[in-house]
Amino acid sequence: MVSADTDRIEQVLLNLLDNARKFAPPASVITVTATQQDDSVLFSVRDQGPGIPPAERSRIFDRFFQGTPPSTDVARGTGLGLAICKALVEAHGGQIWLDETITDGARICFTIPRAPVEARRDAGQAALTAPIRTAYDAAHVLVVDDEPSLRQMLEGSLRNAGYVVSAVAEGQAALEVIATEAPDVVVLDLFLPGQDGFAILQQIRDWSDVLVMILTASSEPGNVVRGLQLGADDYLTKPFRMDEFLARIAALLRRRGGELEEDVPVIQRGPLQIDVARRHAQVDGVSVELTPTEFRLLTYLAQHADQVLTHAQILQHVWGPAYGGESQYLWVHIGRLRQKIEADPRAPRLIRTERGVGYRLVAEPARPKEHA
């Protein structure tokens, strides 16, 4: 037994595996081990790639450091994967390092402390159960805004509404909080020092599905569309009413809470399969990566396949009763869903009605002119 947050350690292992896959030759072996020690468990991930150049070894856990790719075919990442691993492991009281004794390939190791003896003894008598926290039980909101007065106002209002609140003034600090504290909602300004909110949002979506509300002074339609396309779940412009802001935060958390109407745990529409309980979708056995809003939107459409749903119906069900005229939310997210699920020609199609008043999911492949 170890003292650990299962989701966070899973994220560490997935980051290390993804890093190994990126640098390992095709068809080579990646080895994962776990070894019990006196006071910890030692994990390691080893690949058979070219290894890490000596000049880069001391920097691989630095934020935004990108190592030399083995070839031009390897896409460069954000430089945050190993830095996030380091932050999460150290937050658990463990250590992470590069095994420099390895000469063929690379081996990254980390430790997680074992649980106290009393906890191990108690576990023999009763199974451990993970703590369950509802969306309204001290949900954690991270505010990212460089304007001190507004940041302070948002902190006070959110705390008065019963939320746990963190607040930072720039994007890199926000990424660290998201990686180590896993907030439920991020309130993100677009105009930040250094990297702007769009760049930060893009990096968040590379590795996290945390709910994101953009809160900004920019009401330009192009910025609204871009924010939604990059994966924001909501977009609110300044100046704003505090009661509307708090209502939108609550609506985001309700959607994450999973108030789905479908009793059947798995929805099947042709090769499209939606596992409601696990919040997982796949087309013909291939997983489809969806943001929380995209998942709820697709699930709602699949629950009412072949039925015409108006803009207002979809907005009020997926975004909440306060919505009804924000059509840009729909066509941006519908466009993203089309890109993700319609690659398979047999998959269901998302069709806009002739008069443009709504959408429907057709379980059978659409005719070319209808799809167009």
Residues 6+ apart with CB under 8 A from 107: 44, 45, 46, 47, 98, 99
Please name the residues in contact with 129: beta carbons below 8 A apart, sequence gap of 6 or more.
none
| Cα-based angle 338, 339, 341 (whole degrees, multiple of 5) | 65
Q: What are the boundaries of each domain within the chain? A: 6-120, 140-257, 266-371
Nearest alpha carbon to residue 50 among 7, 106, 108: 106
Does residue 169 contact residue 187 with C-beta atoms inside 8 Å? no
Counting runs of H as helices and runs of E as strands, what totals does the chain give? 12, 16
Residue 86 CA, distance from chain mean position:
19
pLDDT tens sequence for the chain (372 residues): 787 887 788 888 988 988 888 888 888 899 999 999 988 999 999 998 888 888 888 888 887 677 666 655 555 555 667 888 888 888 888 999 999 998 889 999 999 998 776 555 554 443 333 333 333 346 899 999 999 989 989 998 898 888 889 999 999 899 888 887 889 999 999 999 988 999 999 888 877 888 999 999 887 888 888 888 888 988 998 888 888 899 889 888 877 665 444 445 788 888 888 887 777 888 888 888 887 778 888 888 888 777 777 777 787 777 766 565 666 667 777 888 888 887 666 667 777 765 556 777 776 554 444 443
CATH 1.10.579.10, applies to 266-371: no
**Cβ neighbour number for residue 362 with a 10 Å cutoff:** 17
pTM of the predicted structure, to 2 decimals: 0.49
Task: Assign domain 140-257 to its CATH architecture.
Answer: 3-Layer(aba) Sandwich (3.40)
> CA 20, CA 45: separation in Å to the nearest integer?
8
Query: What fold does the segment set 6-120 form as a domain?
Result: Heat Shock Protein 90 (3.30.565)
Q: What is the distance between the alpha carbons of residues 54 and 248, in angstroms, rounded to a whole number? A: 50
Distance CA 104, CA 94 (A): 26
Distance of CA 159 to the CA centre of its chain: 24
